[in-house]
Amino acid sequence: MPEYVRPYVKAHKNDDRDAEGIAEAASRPTMRFVDIKTQQQLDVQTLHRVRSRLVAERTNLINQLRAILLDRGVIFPAGRRKFQQGVDGLPIDESCILSPRIRQLTGDLRQEWRELDAKIEALNDEFIALARNDDNMRRLTSIPGIGVLNATALVAAVGDGRTFAKARDLGAWLGLVPRQHTTGGKPRLLGISKRGNTYLRTLLIHGARAALPILSQNDTPLGHWLKAMIERGVHRNAVVVALANKLARKAWAVLCKKGTFERGYPAAV
């Protein structure tokens, strides 16, 4: 990262001093390096980027279509599925309050929506096939809150996880740990750092939010830990991020130790 090289660049910045700073930084024993990704990892990351773009396009299209109908007094409940059912149920005869041109435009946008759905679903099927044929991805899906998307994105980003010496290093790299500001021997923890891979962090947080209701009811060490935070009045979003960090650590252990997540592990009495 440039911020690791900047302290070694002398005086004014130019290409020669940049090269000298990079060489000096690379010679330091504590410098961090990025592993070169395999062709398969690059391919999977590219598929995720394309899917993310398609999902964003679909969201923008839905918001535009909802706004067009709202301006004409046609209101639908919140949620993509309910909106889809409502748009498909619009009357196409003269009883509809929409003008003929807007009815035609609505149909064109709905067809574009269907095409985006088909493209996204095709990529989802491809991710499922990848997870079935890859040992690391298949093991990661044994962790609650980590589905096919999370597993494929994790393996594409970190490989077998051996780049990180400890499980906590992966959580820190993903930006799921508090920022620290310590001075005069007085530590102060702030909000999460939000460093690293934004897309992967978002997937883990969404997975943690989906798994929280079930995991918090389990009679396991993880379930008791979640219950304790909820009973202390910790904000739900903070609990979700803490669980996402915990899932990232478990993912590192699954990758490095070549094991699977033990769902039925009981709590100590």
DSSP reduced 3-state for 186? strand
Q: What is the pLDDT of residues 122-136, one digit of tens each?
A: 999 999 999 999 999
**What pLDDT is recorded for position 268?**
37
**Radius of gyration for the alpha carbons in the chain, expressed in angstroms and rounded:** 24
- Give pTM, 2 decimals: 0.84
**Locus of tokens 């389990």:** 218
The one-letter code for the residue type at 235 is H
| Residue range 85-102: mean pLDDT, rounded | 81
User: What are the C-alpha distances in Å from 13 to residues 7, 140, 196?
Assistant: 12, 44, 26
pLDDT tens digit sequence for 115-124 = 999 999 999 9
pLDDT for the residue numbered 31: 73
pLDDT tops 90 at residue 61 = yes
Name the more confident of 191 and 125.
Answer: 125
Q: What phi-psi label fits residue 146: left (phi over 0), alpha (psi between -120 and 50 degrees) or beta?
A: beta
Q: What is the mean pLDDT of residues 31-41?
A: 81
State pLDDT tens for residues 207-251.
Answer: 999 999 999 988 888 899 999 999 999 999 999 999 999 999 999
162: tokens are 């051996």
CB 244 within 8 A of CB 150: no
